[in-house]
Structure 1
Amino acid sequence: MNKYINQLLQMQDLETALREHKTLKGDTEEATCAELRKNIAGLKKILPPEVNVIYERISKRYPIYVSPMVNSACTSCFMKIPVGVANSVLSTSNCISCPSCGRFLFFDEGHFKRPGDEFHQYKGVARFSSQDLMMPHLKAKSKEEVIEKIGLHCCETGFVENHGTFIKGLLKREALITTAVGSGIAFPHARAIRACGLTLAVGTVKPGIKENGDNLSIFFVSAVPTQTSIFYIELISKLANYFSKAENRKKILDCTKPEEMWKIMVQIGK
């Protein structure tokens, strides 16, 4: 991948992490936000001037300004890319923009089909998940072990490719800023992952994992392909709102079977 596209993707991930942090925690933990802004500024500083000019313009219009090109189409605006431009994305070391929306483009092999058709039956957060991705009462001694177990399960059930890359991405994101948001809830996720769309798995742990005075017991683990990043922020906002209520957390923690958890999930955000 073009090294500057790689830098832009890193900047986009950091900017998205900053928005997620503000969505879940408001303006608290300003030191964390300041560190993210510092890292973004450091990456921006080493962009070539001509790329920086485009970045300044396009990032003001779109929160997701680097888009995968799949089957010779921009996956953000869905417009077909002319053959000459598509070939340049594949072969050049320059940063190429979509002629329609202006986003930076990079080549992606595309997405595979979700296992089964059940995703089309639901509304709300359930359209991003499945009963097969519900994991009650996991046994684990650390947050990392929980994340690894759920990540591996996502791959074994066919919703995400390459468990090594996915788990590495989950742990890398967790090391950047903890995804724990209080009340025993965490939102581990990995971006730019090859998956069948935005994919959510849910795991519970009893009695929980101790971390920074909290007792982590509900894990919402997600694979977030680049073009679905904006939907992910909406997803975690709905989940955080629903599970901010103690009675709703108790309901899912009391579930001992995947189908019991699934009955709760299909009701959220309908």
Structure 2
Amino acid sequence: MQPVINLLVQLQELIVARAQQEAGMPGAQLDQLDASIASLKKEIPPDVSQQFARLLQKSPLAIVPVVNGVCTACGMTLPVSLVHQVHAAEKIYHCPACARLLFHRESAARNTRKAPRRSDPPKVGIERFSAEALMIPALKGADRDAVLAELCQKLADEGFVDDAGKLLESALKREAIISTAVENGLAFPHVRCIEGGALTLALGLAPKAIKFDPAGKACTRIVFFVVIPTAASAFYLKLLSGLSQVFQKEENRAKLLEADSSEKLWKALMKTTRLVIQ
């Protein structure tokens, strides 16, 4: 059954990528993704495909990884026997709590961002997801892979993830599906289904435009890198849509690009997004 599980994971990645393209690039040409989705669906047994479709009607994610014995979607600690069955993959198993399909995933980067203390003042807007420490006003990388490595390392250095190498590996796998570069010099690379922590955003500016999409013509200068726990997958699309809306405006992009320090970049990001990102 493992080959079918692999197909379901691939199909979900394509469906999520399509939703992200729609959110980040309104009016984007989606024919290539639609064709890939249709082709992949034909390879999945009809009964499994129907289960998968029903689950997608309820949630953006129909199949989720089991990490450390826990369903990453709902947080339920699964019976040890079920964890072993999921790992063996002789059939497809459901989470007893949320009913999502389950699959075993090898170790990946873990979000180590600490939850706010009750005594901390409440954060609003983009402050809920990021911090001045995650701003890079002048990226050193000259190509996509180097920029991604730099952003992953920043997240690790500041204590937001535990393994920059694994995070980079996951980010590059996502880019291989379809580039996260969009128009107006923006890119939204991300890694989903990260265990633990909360949705976290790092922002980097390229002093010179880079080819974030090796196959495309557009050049990128503003790179938002987002680490997304499974439970925050639906909210990420809202965040992506909001960021896309804000930075479609040239004056807002200019405010970011004028920043020459982490402090100034952070202040510019908070100011430009305060009315849209709640």
TM-score of the pair, normalised by structure 2: 0.81
Q: Is 1:114 aligned to 2:141, yes or no? A: no
Does the 8 Å CA contact 1:166/1:193 hold for their aligned counterparts?
no
Q: Which residue pairs with 1:264 in the alignment?
A: 268
- Given that residues 159 and 195 in structure 1 are in contact (C-alpha distance below 8 angstroms), is that contact kept between their aligned partners in structure 2? no
- Residue 6 of structure 1 corresponds to which residue in structure 2? 6
2:44 partner letter: L
CA distance in 2 between counterparts of 1:43 and 1:139 reads 38
1:224 match: 228
- Per-residue deviation, 1:6: 3.1
Cα distance change, pair 34–162 in 1 and its aligned pair in 2 (3 A) = same
Question: 8 Å contact 1:67–1:74 — kept in the other structure?
Answer: yes
C-alpha change, 1:194 and 1:116, in structure 2 (3 Å) is closer
Question: For residues 13 and 66 of structure 2, what CA distance do their matches in structure 1 show?
Answer: 18
Q: Does the CA contact (< 8 Å) of 2:14 and 2:177 recur in 1?
A: no
The within-5 A match list for 1:88-127 is 88-106=85-103, 113-115=112-114, 117=116, 121-127=122-128
Does residue 52 (structure 1) correspond to residue 52 (structure 2)? The answer is no
Q: Which amino acid aligns with 1:114?
A: R
In 2 relative to 1, CA 257–94 (structure 1 residues): closer, same or farther, beyond 3 Å? Answer: same
Asked whether 1:253 is paired with 2:252, we answer: no
Q: Secondary structure at the match of 1:138?
A: coil
How has the CA–CA distance of structure 1 residues 154 and 65 changed in structure 2, closer, same or farther, with 3 Å as cutoff?
Answer: same
Paired-residue identity, %: 35
Q: How does 1:1-270 map to 2 (within 5 A)?
A: 2-29=2-29, 33-69=30-66, 74-77=71-74, 81=78, 85=82, 88-106=85-103, 113-115=112-114, 117=116, 121-194=122-195, 196-209=197-210, 212-267=216-271, 268=273, 269-270=277-278
Letter in 2 for 1:47: I
Q: Compare 12-21 and 86-95 and name the one that shifted more.
A: 86-95
Aligned-residue Cα RMSD (Å) equals: 3.1
CA pair 28-197 structure 1, distance change in 2 beyond 3 A: same
CA contact (8 A) 2:94 2:102 kept: yes
With over 3 angstroms needed to count, the CA separation of the structure-2 counterparts of 1:2 and 1:147, relative to structure 1, is same
Measure the CA separation in 1 of the matches of 2:96 and 2:211: 50
The 3 A distance-change label for structure 1 pair 156 and 3 is farther
Residue deviations 1:61-106, cap 9 Å, x none? 3221113446765443456656664554355521111234321123
Structure-1-length-normalised TM-score: 0.83
In structure 1, runs of 5+ residues without a counterpart are none
Give the SS at the match of 1:180: coil
Query: 1:107, 1:49 → 2: CA distance?
Result: 22
Cα 1:76/1:174, change in 2 over 3 Å: closer
Which of 227-236 and 137-146 deviates more? 137-146
How far the C-alpha of 1:16 sits from its partner, in A, is 0.6
How much has 1:234 moved relative to structure 2? 1.1
* Deviation (angstroms), 1:242: 1.5
Deviation string for 1:234-253 (max 9, x for gaps)?
Answer: 11111111112222211111
**Residue 13 of structure 1 aligns to which amino acid in structure 2?**
E
State the 1:258 CA deviation.
1.2
The one-letter code sitting in structure 2 at the alignment partner of 1:11 is L
Give the CA deviation at 1:8.
1.8
Please report how far the alpha carbon of residue 168 of structure 1 lies from its aligned counterpart in structure 2 after TM superposition. Answer: 2.3
In structure 2, list runs of 5 or more residues that go unmatched: none
Conservation of the 8 A alpha-carbon contact between 1:189 and 1:224: yes
